[in-house]
Amino acid sequence: MLSFFQGELVPEADPYFQQIADLRVSAHCVIDRNGQIYQCVDFNQRAWHAGVSTYQGREACNDFSVGVELIGPEEGPFTESQLQALGSIARYLITHYGLKVTDIVGHRDIAPGRKVDPGADFPYAMLRTLL
């Protein structure tokens, strides 16, 4: 699981991995279903999580954003533990990088029509209460 988001997938390890071997994907953090956070890429380095994307008129979101992946169905539901862990990452980013709460958006917001996660029912309001 983590090797995919770290850009270190070994295609020979599984036939499915061979199908996705050419995908260039990485994330700054991955949160498993139990809320465990795995840092895959330093926050000050570029990760390949957004792809073709735009946020507030700026293209190429990989150049200036932090990608956090939640393990599970693409459109949720996500576990309470995952949301708590995401809240702790968001608090850190807000404190250390001067982000605003409204800067916390999903792939579906920066690449609409191409990405659907974290889903239309993602509990942003509840997440913001954790911040």
Could you read off the pLDDT of 34-54 as tens digits, one per residue?
999 999 999 999 998 899 999
* Structural domain boundaries enclosing 91: 2-129
More confident residue, 14 or 60: 60
Query: Which of 92, 27, 34, 95 has its CA nearest to residue 61?
Result: 27
Q: What is the pLDDT of residue 111?
A: 94
State the pLDDT at residue 56. 95
pLDDT at 97: 93
Percentage above 90 pLDDT, the chain: 67
Q: How many domains does the chain have?
A: 1
Q: How confident is the model at residue 1 (pLDDT cuts 50, 70, 90)?
A: low
What is the set of active-site residues?
A: 69
Q: Provide the whole-model pTM.
A: 0.86
Residue 31 has pLDDT above 70, yes or no: yes
* Segment 8-25 mean pLDDT: 80
Q: Which residue has the higher pLDDT, 23 or 90?
A: 90
Tell me the CATH number at 23: 3.40.80.10
pLDDT digits (tens, 9 = 90+) for 81-108: 999 999 999 999 999 999 999 999 999 9
